[in-house]
Structure 1
């Protein structure tokens, strides 16, 4: 498998556990990372794929889980926390960042992007998967799609006060936050990560909320418990437009 390397490796600064892989705009990070994970299994862990596409930030990271698939999928929620933290680092501080279960990221009430998760198709729920792939996509600009006012349900970084050339700094910040989140999970358990995720989930407001061992959200109100299943929204999320390979406008 070949990929287009960065012209200058120094322009992408990642934590030691990560290896950056820049690929052409014709690629999709989610698909490229899955193919690489399937071909190289554990040897590809830590690879961060970034697509050279200026209108979106399209990235994916290959993970090496250490627990059964049923519980390892909680890494998706951790990835979303890292993504929220990265966006919050560079965005205007007064703007709310919220999540629609499980992986749509909203910025000031409009759809900015989201996340996906892949795993080996033949992996049993009780088996430890050889790999997981977390992928995230954010709209950088909607200029090529016409008047942004015609698509008010979505937004882009350039509309929301983010600085120019934000793609790589956001990718670097995501990687750093992802490492910190995994360290917190390992040291203190998943409850802290769950609380950070749920703090951005409006559906949890007014409920006694938690994350089950399989990654489902449990929302208790008035003695009744609502379960939000994690798996259905991971591989074909509502925020993604397959035709444009980006965020649904």
Structure 2
């Protein structure tokens, strides 16, 4: 048994397909299958229920999966810490972030970092929290910046809270809602909502406010500048962190919307 086999097993659990998992790990499907079979042979038990179309782990597979994630993440952390101790003036930093932090928080932090460590190669990808968590499990990135609520109770993730960012709703100047003296959350759902990928907790709160079983935004994109442009050219209501478009608000190109009955736990969205 080696870390490579454990990484493959983790990938199989994420993709629930030998073909897709092999593609994600960059090897052929037959080689990937042999690696999983070798792992099963070493443990002396079946780790994946091949009779189930979802390829769910067996009870033994769940135990292996739990320890595999800990071992793989521990190895990556060890390598990273040793590198940081010995080669802080070289090496590579790879991480991810959501669309809103990518507007200001991350660029500002990266600029400070490369000023202090100009020889370190820095690479960050912008995507939603779900895809970034998969990238972390595949060790494609070392960490990511996203809403912490979906991960803080998950033993497979180590979390570190940053300063909370205020979540707000915004629209274009001249939007029909601006003619009202007071806005209720009922007014919100009269217009399309444009958002990045919403964490499950916030999605549930919005569903409750709208009186629906589930909630899906009318427009969803992980490209924040595109989201803002949609709002500027339509009656859509945008949702995001205030710091991501504070300059647009200051210039008057976007207007903040305030709801009199909005739950406080929605106001911290990232």
The two structures share one fold, judged by TM-score above 0.5: no
Structure (1 or 2) with the larger CA radius of gyration: 2
Considering fraction of residues, name the structure with more strand.
Answer: 1
Comparing both chains, which one has the higher relative contact order based on Cα–Cα distances under 8 Å and sequence gaps of 6 or more? 1
Normalized against structure 1, the TM-score is what?
Answer: 0.23
Normalized against structure 2, the TM-score is what?
Answer: 0.21
Considering fraction of residues, name the structure with more helix.
Answer: 2
